[in-house]
Structure 1
Amino acid sequence: MHLCYIDEAGNGQTLDPERPDAPPVLVVGGFTVPHTQLRSLTWAFLDIKKHYRPQLQHAEQLSDLIQHEIKGSDVRKNLRAGNHNWRRAAMDLVASLLGMLKEHEARILARVWIKEVGQAFDESGVYPASVAALNETFQAQLAHEHSRGMMVLDSRTKVKNAPNVHCVTTRKFRTGGDSLRGVIESPVFGHSDTHTLLQVADLLVSSLLFPIACHAYLSDVTWNVHCDDAYRPLREQHGEQLKNLQFRYQDALGKWRGGVVVSDRRTRQPSSLMFGLPKRAAVPTPTIPGQLTTPHAEHPKSGPGSTLPLVP
């Protein structure tokens, strides 16, 4: 059996210069994990929490450790406006997160929506469509693994929750057959302060996918606070690993689907921009005849990661 944990980053605000803090993208995504890895993954994440929030090492109750959240929005803030130690700690945290997911056989899936400047964004339609698409990917993985599974969504409000599930329920129980046979039930909802792995989904979506999407597709939107070149290292250092952690599959027509799928409404750029900067052709360095060339010195390796600043 597999579990799938889904969270979102961004909202339906219109991207407009008069709202410089409006999220320029909406990301709905998360990860899948075999149920045999749940306990180990949970404790690995709690250890990460204690490393980057040292005060948690003295927590008297396990519930205190579980309920304390490291929010992806705080990680982004440290990358944009923090000092050198804070930025390094934020990058180390993301690296620890991806390493943990890889070690526990997790697979990443997401829908990323790039907004158009000045155009209304229908969150009420986009979010359910994303959940439906992610369930298709989840079903494909379950079929590939000969497994069964269930999806857990981060709970918002009842009014917002219900439409996100109806699209899956109707597909499972409509006349003519169940197209999501491996998914044993419609998605259920959890709260991140009680479902620890929803916190992992939040960090993945909010501290990695969201800022990478902003940098990859909206770097020219300089008036928006979320479009910051401070996110470049995320794309450079973690893009390849993010690519390798996807679950991708071929449909009946041989088309590749799943993984991290981007709908770019601005410039129609491909999803591959999420996985690193475009490669440029190497330009040969001119040399003077008879002159010896000296190889560039390697950058010194950074020391052990520091802790993230405490956020009230």
Structure 2
Amino acid sequence: MGSAIAVCAPRGKVLHLCYLDESGTGQVLNPGVADSVPVMVIGGFTVPESQIKGLAWDFIALKKQFRPELRKLPALSQVVHHEIKGETIRKSFRRQGRNQRRMAHGFLDHLLTILERRDCRVMARIWVKQDGVVNDDAAMYAASVTALCANFEHYLAERSSSGVAVLDSRNPSDNVGNVHCVTTRKFAKGGDPMPHLPESPLFGHSDTHLGLQIADLLVSAVLAPSAAVTYAGDLTGNVHCHPEFVEVRDRHCPRLGKLQHRYQAPTGKWTGGIVVSDARGHQSAGKLFVPTVTAGTAPVEGIPGQGSSLDLVTAATAPAPASPAM
């Protein structure tokens, strides 16, 4: 029988968790196919140990506001198990009904307020693909995980803290390849470049980890559609570059920009946070964070009580999740 591994912060130090998920693949981008995916995004957020329970309860309350039927479930585990997927929120923005789009924006407004309140930091690696070019999906994912762990390491070092990264589990063969590069760097001869991460990234399942559910929402509902419409908006008729995603970017990405951990590398170049590798147009990540139009509604402050009347309750009539489009 297997045994659990406990990772504890040294006495007097704060432990941080980093939850990471992905959206999209390295599959060849075909501009003639409406659902061909133009971007691959790997990212998530960090949270201090002292804020984890508060983050969890805030998110559970938001899930109950978004899906009122969850309030009737007899067990907390059932509420945790019920996932509100980022791709479902993303599809709401493409629907004609204004109420569904308004509900989806309201949900993300409240989610970002939770991250701001709980001292979280956001990080991601965004890959923008060229038409017809074969990409190495495994290498892209592994390079992203390595870069994000390096970002996390710098954040921890500044605070003399330790941390653990948790990735959404894919399958055993992919899992090994995704973290092997971090493992070999940590335990190779010549010193550990990530001493504030006592272990290589671990794996969890999103239906049991609220942090992974939040990471999925950040990546699939905000960053992926925002990046697609920003860096591949010339793809006419592509469902991932829907015009409504402009409002997703303009309304929510400036808030994500303020949650980044950016720092200067030894070369003097700024790095960290949300990094874009744009093979298509060679544009910078800065385009994500400066609104091109005035967002429709100002962000809502705070997380309301479960009994308050919000537009979010209209989500009760939202259709069941369909098969992922990204």
Give the deviation of 1:300 after TM superposition.
11
After the TM superposition, which residues 113-124 of structure 1 pair with which residues of structure 2 at under 5 Å, given as runs?
113-124=127-138
Which entry has the higher C-alpha Rg, 1 or 2? Answer: 1
The structure 2 residue matched to 1:94, chosen from 105, 108, 114, is: 108
1:305 and 1:256 map into 2 onto residues whose CA distance is 40
Give the deviation of 1:278 after TM superposition.
5.1
Partners of 1:76 and 1:207 within 8 A in 2: yes
Match of 2:242 in 1: 228
1:152 and 1:81 map into 2 onto residues whose CA distance is 33
Give the deviation of 1:276 after TM superposition.
2.7
1:82 and 1:305 map into 2 onto residues whose CA distance is 17
Structure 2 residue runs without a partner (length 5+): 1-14, 301-308, 322-326
Partners of 2:23 and 2:41 within 8 A in 1: yes
Match of 1:257 in 2: 271
1:251-288 Cα distance to aligned partner (Å, 9 max, x none): 22322110000000001001101113459xxxxxxxxx
1:54 and 1:253 map into 2 onto residues whose CA distance is 51
2:121 and 2:319 map into 1 onto residues whose CA distance is 30
Match of 2:311 in 1: 305
Give the deviation of 1:301 after TM superposition.
11
Give the aligned residue type for 1:117: D
1:33 and 1:55 map into 2 onto residues whose CA distance is 28
Give the aligned residue type for 1:131: V
What count of residue pairs does the alignment treat as equivalent?
294
Match of 2:280 in 1: 266
1:119 and 1:145 map into 2 onto residues whose CA distance is 41
Q: Structure 1 residues 56 and 124, CA, compared in 2 at 3 Å: closer, same or farther?
A: same
2:227 and 2:150 map into 1 onto residues whose CA distance is 22
Match of 1:217 in 2: 231
Partners of 1:222 and 1:228 within 8 A in 2: no
Match of 1:43 in 2: 57
Give the aligned residue type for 1:231: F
2:206 and 2:183 map into 1 onto residues whose CA distance is 23
Match of 2:160 in 1: 146
Give the deviation of 1:238 after TM superposition.
1.8
Larger mean Cα displacement after TM superposition, 268-277 or 3-12? 268-277
2:185 and 2:67 map into 1 onto residues whose CA distance is 43
> TM-score scaled to structure 2, two decimals?
0.87
Give the aligned residue type for 1:250: Q
The structure 2 residue matched to 1:162, chosen from 150, 162, 176, is: 176
After the TM superposition, which residues 11-50 of structure 1 pair with which residues of structure 2 at under 5 Å, given as runs?
11-50=25-64
1:109 and 1:99 map into 2 onto residues whose CA distance is 16
1:300 and 1:32 map into 2 onto residues whose CA distance is 25
Tell me, yes or no, if structure 1 residue 275 matches structure 2 residue 281: no
Give the deviation of 1:242 after TM superposition.
1.1
Q: Structure 1 residues 299 and 6, CA, compared in 2 at 3 Å: closer, same or farther?
A: closer
Tell me, yes or no, if structure 1 residue 189 matches structure 2 residue 198: no
After the TM superposition, which residues 52-131 of structure 1 pair with which residues of structure 2 at under 5 Å, given as runs?
52-131=66-145
Partners of 1:2 and 1:147 within 8 A in 2: yes
Question: Match of 1:153, SS?
Answer: strand
Structure 1 stretches of 4+ moved >6 Å? 298-303
Cα root mean square deviation, aligned: 1.9
1:78 and 1:44 map into 2 onto residues whose CA distance is 23
1:39 and 1:127 map into 2 onto residues whose CA distance is 29
Q: Percent identity?
A: 45
Partners of 1:53 and 1:310 within 8 A in 2: no
1:223-251 Cα distance to aligned partner (Å, 9 max, x none): 31111111111121222211101111112
1:36 and 1:189 map into 2 onto residues whose CA distance is 21
Give the deviation of 1:304 after TM superposition.
4.1
The structure 2 residue matched to 1:202, chosen from 196, 212, 216, is: 216
1:40-73 Cα distance to aligned partner (Å, 9 max, x none): 1011100010000000011111111001010111
